[in-house]
Amino acid sequence: MTQDLFTPVKLGRTELKNRIVMAPLTRNRAAVPGNVPQEINVTYYAQRASAGLIITEATPISPMAHGYPALPGIHSAEQVAGWKKVVEAIHAKGGKVYMQLWHVGRISHPSLLPDNALPVAPSAIKPAGQAFTYTGLQDYVTPRALETAEIPGVIEDYRRAAELALQAGFDGVEVHGANGYLLDQFLRDNTNQRTDQYGGSIANRTRLLIEVVAAVSKVWGADRVGVRLSPINQFNDIRDSNPEALFHHVVEALNPFNLAYLHVVEVGMTGDAPQVVDFERLRKAYRGNYIANGGFDKARGNAVIASGHADAVAYGVPFIANPDLGLRLRQAAPLNVLDAAHLYGGGAQGYTDYPTLNATVA
């Protein structure tokens, strides 16, 4: 039987009613102080339960992992309680949800961190660009290079966050290794110039990601853990001299885990000349479930599933403006127009006020 977006699928231990995945979408609407999920977040996620799987907005694993205002974290009891309400609302509508575990690394600013601390990174290399802070845009600063002895503490932060996500009732977790944040910074040779066991060779630069996945898998079981990568994305001033070799190695290193899935962003997010990676080769190298991400519509989503390239397809921006995207795709209904002025921060406008079809969500 030909598979498509609307065919059920099992990713690891998680059975999905369809293959439409809501990608992680930072929206900056947590309650502050405390960075706690609040009722408007509950409403927002419950509205989008037509997805086979929701992956939460990227969620900081510790106070030092934050890099933007009003992010809901996963490092306090209050945050666990807030997320539990979100999970329960999604489950009540028949949805499944994974939490994305996140550390921004150098993509932060002292004003967003405890005691105005410097952001941490694999190496003390300042990123180009500016940080979004509570007082407006500010230039990024030169981060502090993590000492080798500090890295086990970072891994423990991931493990503890995974444990808290389990307490909140999630169906699984996704390790964020993409888009120029901490784990991606360790992978790439333009941000990682270390000389210890976490730098230099491709195998050494991959080490932290693999150790984090191992720690999180001990909490959840690897069949309820996903990993997100973005091999050609240069967002957040991230590049590598040989991304083809790097990410082929990463995929081979992840294979033994038998993860729930590998989630790959197959496009860039900047106007820079793209780095080159053979995604067909990458897919063939990965032996497990594969979620493709990158500007898909219904036709292209169905095509990559039918071809076997992907087991599921992640949609980002369309889910912002179309809470019932799963139903709209099934019915070939028109999509709402995105309210780009209200993407980040604020209240209900541009967040929970998009109209839905006058029908039961599939």
- Distance, C-alpha 177 to centroid of its chain: 8
Nearest alpha-carbon partner for 59 in 69, 70, 73: 73
For the segment 66-123, what is each residue's pLDDT rounded down to a tens digit? 999 999 999 999 999 999 999 999 999 999 999 999 999 999 999 999 999 999 999 9
Q: For residues 51 and 161, give the distance between their C-alpha atoms in angstroms, rounded to a whole number.
A: 24
Mean pLDDT across the stretch 201-225?
Answer: 98
Give the residue from 31, 30, 8, 38 showing the smallest Cα distance to 20.
Answer: 8
pLDDT for 16-38, tens place per residue? Answer: 999 999 999 999 999 999 999 99
Question: The tokens of 226 are what?
Answer: 């996903």
The pLDDT of 169-180, averaged and rounded, is 98
For 248, the token pair is 């082929």
Task: Say whether 184 sits in a helix, a strand or coil.
Answer: helix
As a whole number of angstroms, the distance between CA 33 and CA 248 comes to 42
The Cα-based distances of 234 to 48, 191, 270 in angstroms read 29, 12, 6
What pLDDT was estimated at residue 2? 83
What is the number of other CB atoms lying within 10 angstroms of the CB of residue 226? 28
Token couple for 311: 């087991």
Whether residue 33 is preceded by a cis peptide bond, meaning omega within 30 degrees of 0, is yes
Which residue, 81, 74, 69, is CA-closest to 39?
Answer: 81
Q: What angle do CA 193, 194, 197 make, to 5 degrees?
A: 140
Instruction: Please check the confidence at residue 158 and state whether its pLDDT lies above 80.
Output: yes
- Please list, in sequence order, all residues whose beta carbon lies within 8 angstroms of the beta carbon of residue 300, skipping any fewer than 6 positions away: none
Distances 45 to 37, 41, 239, 294 between C-alpha atoms, Å: 11, 6, 33, 21
DSSP secondary structure, 160-220, as one string: HHHHHHHHTT-SEEEEE--TTSHHHHHH-TTT----STTSSSHHHHHHHHHHHHHHHHHHH
Confidence of residue 268 (pLDDT cuts 50, 70, 90): confident
Q: Are 355 and 341 in contact (CB under 8 A)?
A: no
Q: Collapse the DSSP code of 264 into the 3-class scheme (helix H, G, I; strand E, B; otherwise coil) and give the result.
A: strand
Beta bridge partners of 144: 120
| Backbone φ and ψ of 36, nearest 5° | -105, 135
Q: Which of 98, 158, 181, 354 is catalytic?
A: 181
**Can you tell me whether residue 27 is helix, strand or coil?**
coil
361: confidence class by pLDDT, cuts 50, 70, 90: very low
What integer is the mean pLDDT of 186-203? 98
Active site residue 140: no
54 in Cβ contact with 23 (< 8 Å): no
Q: How far apart are CA 148 and CA 331, in angstroms?
A: 53
**pLDDT for res 362:** 39
